[in-house]
Structure 1
Amino acid sequence: MKSKRLIVVSLDALSSIDFDMFSKLPNFKKFIRHAACCRQVRSVYPSLTYPAHTSIVTGRTPAHHGIVNNILLQPERSSPDWYWQRNYIRGTTLYDEVLKQGKHVAALLWPVTAKSEITWNLPEIFANRRWTNQILTSAANGTVGYQLMLNHRFGRLRDGIRQPALDNFVHASLKYTLKTYRPDLTLVHFTDLDTQRHHYGVHSEEAAAAIKRHDERIGELMHLLHQNRMSVKRDTTVIILGDHSQLDVRNVILINKLLREQGYLKVQNGRVTEWKAYCQNCDGSAYIYIKKEGMDRDEYLRVKNGVYDWLCAMKNDPDNGIAAIYSSKKAKELGADPECTFMLEARRGFYFKNELDTAEIPDIQRATHGFHPDRKDYQTIFMAVGPDIIPGMEIEEMSLLDEGPTMAEIMGLSLPDADGRILHEIFKNQ
């Protein structure tokens, strides 16, 4: 392989349905002209940001790498922690393998990288305790000096986590990082489009505006590489990809509210204090966990069978929004958490939340993700340009799991435990 450098740009919630629109924008159009592309990339299950981004850098399913949701199972917490830290990932990652070679890695808001060994790390994490703040939390989980420098130079661009200000900050930080440090591997995560779709819907004007902003960012990135002699014809590969799509939603399903009414969980002062069955939302899907601790086998089976019968009755009523009920075995086969008791899939237009009442939901969404990756109009995108990539190569379909092994191949490395395959067909002389 000729590529000495790999830059991976994740555009959260970029969808296959966007291709006709963004392929006409000037910078995407120019990139696509020289790229190997797939318009139909199958995500993972559940198709959420953290499981997906971990699958991108491991080539493994959530069931295998361990990041089975965005959030941890913490029923007692009103604001559960997320899978922020690297130590939640089972097995190796692309960036671990690069670091083992004595090379350097930069990551900007790439999920599940907190407290990793990444050389220059601006982790995606937020302060989730009353006694701390965002600056201290970020500093404790990433590269302190690097983060302080970025905030000193570009912090004025931020407005908390509001978009597009956050992506403007990330983009400025990315350009500075590439120009100043020239990492061997760079991972960057933009969330502008994902945010707009959640707030306004899949086909909203706000989502289209976010894609246009991404086009400008891609143009500036490619211009910077050209200016700084990081040539995609000679020594640098750039990959632009999505992690999942989104679907429009109208109705929220509050399984825990109903579990409370059935006596399967207890609440005091708005918080869960005891539970035998609990629903952990994944937006378009959800896990049902039956707590084994504190119950003998007979009681456990009574609870399990009772919850299952109750869920089946709900599924038979289309107004309740449940499209499918999967067993633990089936969930594992689909790549989801093998530790769940059941997994639920929402009907189109519905999504799940953990809250006990709609009044407790902080933000009603217009669109969301987490659905089964084979849903119609729900695939994502992969595009690669580089010295080893065949321009104009069309990949009919692929999995998100194929991206990690393929990126490892570009860097002369391997991910031997990957569930995906190397996309040999996109490479010259293979």
Structure 2
Amino acid sequence: MKRPVILICIDGAGTDYFKRCSLPNIDRLCREGFCSWSSHAMVPTVTNVNNVSIITGEYPAEHGVFTNCYYEVEEDREVYMESPEMIKSETIFEKASRSGLKSVLITVKDKLRTLLSYGVDESFSAEKPARWVVDYIGRPPNIYSSEVNLWIFKGAEAFMQKFSPDIIYIATTDYIMHKYPPESPEARRHMRLLDEGIGLILDEYPDSVIGITADHGMTAKKTAIDLEKVLAGKGVKAKVVPTVKDRYLPHHSNLSGSAYVYLKKIEDVEKAYDILRDVDGVEEVLTATEASQRFHLPQEKVGDLLVLGEVDYVFGTLTSGVIEDVDLRSHGSLHERVIPTILYGVEREGEIDENRLLAQIALRGLEIV
């Protein structure tokens, strides 16, 4: 039997979270393997985009998932990118299956389990756990807790004992990162729990190939702007969709460090560009062509403009006014792009400067060309 390949995506774990407390198991992986604190996530820095890049090894332009939620112009509706049919590239799970290998997928959020599940032999989420797992390790804690991430590592250990998979993908949740900065007692406790979970796997399978990264970092946000209202006040009709938008409102209130702008009239592009560029808190405005070329995004889907925020600004729908003071932690901008990459049990070939490159590590560990 080949050594199992274990990929772990620690949701929202910018490198600053790893520097605030003792993490003996992660330290061991770094000491005996390879560790980079300056890898990069895909842009926009949101969960769905980056997890799909990790399991395909591709940029969003190739695999097709470019946000958590987008606006379908012809149907006049917002669409959550949660269906596996939206992924256009072959995943590591599908490649493993073609080679006669077994795969397991374990997540906290069921939306992510659904999105990533194509080609997987066995999967479950903390939101919708397998009955036998609950019988074996107990019911999962609330998904808005620190403990739920440790629980899925225990579930992963149980799955490995029961199914002996060749590859397992574990995706945690970033609720604590959304609520607490790295230096807080809550965040440090959470990181110790994650380290404990990683230790369970490492102790049981010391000869495994392990790859750890994140989908994005997290920063504090102080000001929210309703870009749709900004444009409307200047006579430009548009639909603005924050890239983090999903069904998990306690995390970020659907306020994102970036947003796609879909204009009602294409002839308003230049006017909208000039309006948004002059808004305080807007760091960059890119046309669809510019966004596609710079961040490898599918040009035909990203609307007419991509707006990127300064470090402490977010964009989204506000109930009153155009600008509001906020006190939250979120992501989506360029300021949450730097993430860790940790490799263990496999030789590094070249730079591992993007999280998507973990797919290559997995295939090498599985001896799939």
TMscore range, shorter length: 0.7 to 0.9
Q: Secondary structure at the match of 1:366?
A: strand
**Alignment match of 1:253 (pick from 181, 201, 225):** 225
Match of 1:336 in 2: 297
State the Cα deviation string for residues 352-394 of structure 1 (Å, max 9, x = none): 12x24259xxxx652222112xx4x8411111222xx24xx79
Percent of aligned pairs with the same amino acid: 19
Please, which moves more after superposition, 400-409 or 40-49?
400-409
2:38 aligned residue (30, 36, 40): 40
Q: Contact 2:13 / 2:177 at 8 angstroms: preserved in 1?
A: no
Q: Which moved more, 1:248-257 or 1:182-191?
A: 248-257
Instruction: Determine whether 1:300 maps to 2:266.
Output: yes
Q: Which amino acid aligns with 1:369?
A: H
**Which residue number in structure 2 is paired with residue 150 of structure 1?**
133
Structure 1 residue identity aligned to 2:260: Y
Residue 321 of structure 1 and its aligned partner are, at CA, apart by 0.9
Structure label with greater radius of gyration: 1
Report the alpha carbon displacement of residue 179 of structure 1 after superposing the two structures with TM.
1.2
Q: 2:257: which partner in 1? A: 284
Q: Is the 8 A contact 2:93 2:118 kept in 1?
A: no
Distance in 1 (CA, whole Å) between partners of 2:36 and 2:309 is 27
- The answer to whether residue 107 in structure 2 is matched with residue 109 in structure 1 is yes
Q: Which of 172, 179, 187 lines up with 1:190 in the alignment?
A: 172
Structure-2 change in CA distance of 1:186 and 1:219 (3 Å) = same
Name the structure 1 match of 2:253: none
1:33-182 equivalences under 5 Å are 33-73=31-71, 82-109=80-107, 111=112, 113-114=114-115, 116-122=118-124, 147-154=130-137, 156-159=139-142, 161-182=143-164
Shift of 1:263: 5.1
Name the SS of the counterpart of 1:73 in structure 2: strand
Q: State whether structure 2 residue 329 is matched by structure 1 residue 346.
A: no
1:220 aligned partner: 200
The two structures have a TM-score, normalised by structure 1, of 0.73
Q: Structure 1 residues 93, 45: closer, same or farther in 2, change over 3 A?
A: same
CA distance in structure 1 between the partners assigned to 2:320 and 2:166 by the alignment: 47
What is the CA distance between 1:396 and its match in structure 2? Answer: 6.6
Any conservation in 1 of the 2:154–2:200 contact (CA below 8 Å)? no
Q: What displacement does 1:241 show?
A: 1.7
Distance 1:100 1:179, change over 3 A: same
2:272 aligned with 1:311: no
CA 1:39–1:396 in structure 2 vs 1: closer, same or farther (change >3 Å)?
Answer: farther
1:306 to 1:108, Cα distance in 2 relative to 1, 3 A: same
Q: What's the CA shift for 1:184?
A: 0.8
> Whole-Å Cα distance in 2 between the matches of residues 257 and 75 of structure 1?
19
Counterpart contact for 2:9–2:213, Cα < 8 Å: yes
The 1-side partners of 2:137 and 2:291 are apart by 43
1:255 offset after TM fit, Å? Answer: 1.0
RMSD: 3.1
Tell me the amino acid that sits aligned with residue 312 of structure 1.
Answer: R
Structure 1 portions without partners, runs of 5+ = 125-133, 139-145, 226-230, 265-275, 292-298, 315-319, 415-430
Q: Give aligned pairs, total.
A: 348
Task: State the match for 2:251 in structure 1.
Answer: none
**Native 8 Å contact 1:257 1:357 kept in 2:** no
Gaps of 5+ in 2: 244-255
Q: Deviations over 1:75-111 (max 9, x none)?
A: 999x965322211101201111001122211001183
Q: Given that residues 8 and 212 in structure 2 are in contact (C-alpha distance below 8 angstroms), is that contact kept between their aligned partners in structure 1?
A: yes
Query: Which amino acid in 2 is paired with 1:106?
Result: V
* 1:418 match: none
> Does the aligned pair in 2 maintain the 1:12–1:243 contact within 8 Å?
yes
